[in-house]
Chain A
Amino acid sequence: MKQYLSPVAAKLPPSGIRKFFDLVSTMKNVISLGVGEPDFITPWTVRESGIFSLEQGQTMYTSNSGIFELREALTRNMSKNFGVEYNPHDEVLVTVGASEAVDLVMRALVGPGDAVLIPDPSYVSYAPCATLAGAEVHYIPTRAEEGFRLRVEDLEQAYTPNAKLLVLSYPNNPTGAIMTREDYLPIAKFVSEHDLIVLSDEIYSDLTYDGTHTAFASLPLMKNRTLHVSGFSKSYAMTGWRVGYVAGHSDLIQALTRIHQYTMLCAPITAQVAALEALRSAEQSMRDMVGTYDRRRRMMVHGFRKMGLSCFEPLGAFYVFPDISATGLTSEEFAEQLLREENVAVVPGTAFGPSGEGHIRCSYAYSTEQIQEALNRMERFVQKRL
């Protein structure tokens, strides 16, 4: 029946993650460091408020833009944490996860003839969403020597006159890299000079381990040019609830809202109610989770360096992206052989783009016992090949 698919749908490749997922699912007793979601359960106060809202019969549609109190709470949060002011009436849209926000931005801003600039390696969804919108994708390589930060020289190289949208995603999945204000300034200047719009996916903004997070929208002249995308999945362990948001200039947000109103109508009401509760009462739980991630992060970086692999220190998200090239294996070979020999699953860096070659992504959203066991097995594996 495949002949009935649209050309775009037919040509869309399965993600590199999917391929590996299928392989790992066939095996038993695997320690998998391959997840992209917290190992915590949503804090009880948040779950309880969702449950209570259902008991109270809150099961209807909400406003397309999302519950107003939630939008208000989000704008207060962004003001407090990033120093950026948004109007909850028309500059914020609550979406079905940050994923929907990314898709909306692509569909509202780019189309055939436009190019989207995406740092490489990066999260698996940006390029496919651009392709689905009909745009072409230009990758901007990032390097371990630079802590996988985006450099304006590379941005200049990748830029073409039809480039309309730049995707930024810091703290970064898969590298764990962050960008400081100083790192961002030349990028902001370039964006301004070349009349670009920026999709800044900052979903890991609460998961930073060295100083505060800089929101791209807080840079000079960047607020109107930035669509700030974020969510609750990583900070509050709410991946399955499907609730996120995007904030930006009202002209752009209204366009996103128009698409959203036809395709989704609104984000799930239970998730919105729970998200509001998270902002009101779960900050300490969130800080506790981040404290735990921080300890595990140090453990993992120490572990990789100890076994002789080069590993830059990630300062955000919950991933470590060590360099495995010293073993002489490619990322895919490393991941497959490690899985078969030691029953440890990691994600090959190439699943996130060509610049991921020579690296693997390891998540530390696991207990310290599992992390230690995985490191022990990996050390055995690596020692044989150094």
Chain B
Amino acid sequence: MLTNEDRKLLELISTDYRLSTDELSIQTGLSKEYVEERIKQWEEEKIIVQYNPLINWERTGEPIVTALIDVKVLPQRGYGFDKVAKRLQKFPEIKAVYLMSGGYDLSILIEGKTMQEVALFVAEKLAPLEHIQSTATHFILRRYKQDGVELLGEEEAPERLVISP
């Protein structure tokens, strides 16, 4: 369990990882040494996994296609879902693998340059795998919001009076 201060620090890092330890220390009121120590600990424990900016590739004009694949797995005695998931995550094209409740077992996120590339990957590399019973591929057509950020048409910045009491 995180202390209140640790939670505030971690949340601050998650909103902007570019903040220096000085800035983090000023804004949280925690000492610089404490902040550095915590970050190091969290990195070692893989609580902080990676520092990645959220990039909207579609805006670059580069071709990029993302698909969410619903995968049904034939769990076999001793095999289970974990082993299948571990096998799948080795593919660099597969960006995310989740075990799901509901009508299918695994949700996979794949990125490629074209729909055809993704579809061929599913057909040739994914579907034929042992223990994969069926796949259903859904292509993302438009992203409206990701990681808590609205990507299209932001709300207008509010116009405040320049000076108010």
Which A residues contact B (CB, under 8 angstroms)? 15, 17, 20-21, 24-25, 30, 32, 34-37, 39, 41, 123-125, 173, 291, 295-296, 298-299, 302, 345, 347, 368
Contact = CB atoms under 8 A, between A and B. Distances in A.
List 7 tightest A-B contacts by C-beta distance, closest first: A34-B163, A295-B27, A21-B163, A36-B164, A124-B165, A17-B165, A32-B162
A35 B158 contact: no
Contact of B27 (A15, A36, A37, A298): A298
A17 to B, nearest CB: 5
Instruction: Assign chain B's interface to a size class.
Output: 10 to 19
A295 B162 contact: no
A39 B27 contact: no
A37 B164 contact: yes
A21 B26 CA distance: 31
A125 B164 CA distance: 12
A347 to B, nearest CB: 6
A277 B161 CA distance: 26
Contact of A34 (B12, B27, B155, B164): B164
Contacts, number: 53
8 contacts: A24-B163, A30-B162, A34-B163, A35-B160, A35-B164, A41-B158, A298-B27, A299-B26
B95 interface: no
Contact of B163 (A17, A39, A173, A368): A17
B138 interface: no
Contact of B165 (A32, A41, A125, A295): A125
B28 interface: yes
B165 A123 contact: yes
B8 interface: yes
A345 B158 contact: no
Q: Which of B8, B12, B27, B163 has the most CB of A within 10 A?
A: B163
Interface string B135-165: 0000000000000000000010010111111
B158 A32 contact: no
Contacts of B162: 21, 24-25, 30, 32, 34-35, 345
Chain A CB count within 10 A is highest, among B23, B28, B164, B165, for: B165
Contact of A15 (B29, B161, B165): B165
B163 A35 contact: yes
A238 to B, nearest CB: 12
A123 B29 CA distance: 29
Given A41-B158, A295-B27, A298-B29, A345 B163 contact: yes
A298 B12 CA distance: 14
A124 B162 CA distance: 17
A291 B163 contact: no
A251 to B, nearest CB: 31
A36 B26 contact: no
**Among the interface residues B23, B26, B158, B160, which one has the most CB atoms of the partner chain A within 10 A?**
B160
